Amino acid sequence: MNKNKLTAALKKKALGAAIAVAVSTPAFADVTLFGIVDVGIGMDSSDNDVLRVDGGEGRTIELPSIWGIKGSEDLGGGLTASFALESDLDASTGGTNRGGTTLSDSGARFWARQANISLSNDMGSLTLGRIYSPALLAIAGVDPRSFYESQSGLVQYATIASTDNTNTHVDVFLANAIQVKFTPGPLNVGIAYGAGELAGDTGGNSNMHVGVTYSAEDLTVMANYIKNKGNNAVNDSFNENEKSAVGAKYTMGDIKLAGYYIKGEGNNAAGVQDTDNEGIALGATFTSGSNEFDISYYQTKNEMTGAADNETDDIILAYRNNLSDRTTLYAKLCNSDRGASGPAGACAGVSGENETFYGFGVFHKF
């Protein structure tokens, strides 16, 4: 075979191999690396105060430091396939921020936040895997502090009732989930079931998380419901919990008013109710150019019979300067007055103490 024929044959083989790879392993049309890096500096008024530099979880930061990969593919006919993988990191130390050792702790998983695949069209979606709870996403939209990572309604929501269910991490993330979401017009309904995978009890360790949001022009209203069955094959009411909330947000030009009511109940390891908490959140955000100011009030009560000094009151002031669409400077202050029997509230202060937490920092989204 002469040189020209050999070259032509090699080119044909290379082209054939490329076509075979393209056909057998189609690439996603859109794959994105994304994340947030947030580092904050803070202190508080307690006798044991220390200077803190937070970059993963803590009272100082506004957002969690995360990274992830997501992608989508247009399947035609209005149908789209997508995936999401999302993990934590500690930007202040370079650590993974995944220090957990048990399945009930999201830290024991590499993709601790999301690991799922979806099929979607104009009417909604079907998602399988580890997800953000639809109940969380619904209430986040009406929190005066938009469920920022610390000193916000996120802390109140996460701690208002607890469970030993291993599928959920403080009702923020839900594993082994089958989620159906309907999105006709202004209505958004998310229903997620978490398979308990508990031998001997198909209902044990299972979850039902529901979030409903209706948004029209300047008004958003929501309701949610959560039930986490206990991780006990003998009786799954042991260590189960329930949460529910209703709320609204209204925008008037540069001012947003938001608030909600939340209720949380739970049983102990013997199946006896040991948690009956309720809370409210009210606040406003004012935007002027690149500047945002918010003020919010959170009240959380322990309603168990006989509980004395049972209330926690938190007032939060915050300022953000959006240097760009991706980079933001922030400063915030929280005064927490927590009763001896009061729940954690929005700032997670020490029981029986009146404390002030303050800090500042910067986050960047990519």
CATH code at position 271: 2.40.160.10
> CA-CA distance, 248 to 143, in Å (whole number)?
8
User: What amino acid occupies position 248?
Assistant: A
Average pLDDT, the chain: 90
Residues 6+ apart with CB under 8 A from 152: 143, 145, 146, 296, 316, 346
User: What amino acid occupies position 65?
Assistant: S
DSSP code for 209: E
Residue 22 predicted with pLDDT over 80: no
Residue 107 predicted with pLDDT over 70: no
Among 169, 190, 154, 149, which Cα is nearest to 279's? 154
Position 292 in a domain: yes
212-228 pLDDT, tens per residue? Answer: 999 999 999 999 999 99
Range of the domain at 180: 50-365
> CA-CA distance, 173 to 103, in Å (whole number)?
13
pLDDT of residue 102: 53
Instruction: Tell me what the mean pLDDT of segment 256-265 comes to.
Output: 98
Instruction: Tell me what the mean pLDDT of segment 238-245 comes to.
Output: 96
In the numeric block, which tokens belong to residue 302?
């322990």
Position 37 in a domain: no
| Higher-confidence position of 177 and 50 | 177
Count of Cβ atoms closer than 10 Å to residue 99 Cβ: 12
Position 318 in a domain: yes
Lowest mean pLDDT among 26-35, 193-202, 332-341, 344-353: 26-35
Residue 285 · residue 293 · CB < 8 Å:
yes
Among 245, 120, 246, which Cα is nearest to 179's? 120
Instruction: Tell me what the mean pLDDT of segment 99-124 comes to.
Output: 79
Position 24 in a domain: no
Position 10 in a domain: no
Instruction: Indicate the pTM of the whole model.
Output: 0.89
Residue 170 · residue 159 · CB < 8 Å:
yes
pLDDT of residue 23: 45
Count of Cβ atoms closer than 10 Å to residue 136 Cβ: 23
pLDDT of residue 13: 52
What φ, ψ does residue 310 adopt, rounded to 5°? -105, 10
29-51 pLDDT, tens per residue? Answer: 699 999 999 999 999 887 777 89
First and final CA of the chain: distance in angstroms? 54
DSSP structure string for 45-69: SSTT---EEESSSSSS-SS--EEEE
Position 19 in a domain: no
With bands split at pLDDT 50, 70 and 90, how would you rate the model's confidence at 19? very low
pLDDT of residue 99: 53
| Higher-confidence position of 13 and 199 | 199
Residue 231 · residue 204 · CB < 8 Å:
yes
> CA-CA distance, 308 to 131, in Å (whole number)?
38
Cα angle at 240 between 235 and 242, to 5 degrees? Answer: 140
The number of folded domains in the chain is 1
Position 157 in a domain: yes
In the numeric block, which tokens belong to residue 218?
């300047």
In the numeric block, which tokens belong to residue 41?
């500096």
Position 34 in a domain: no
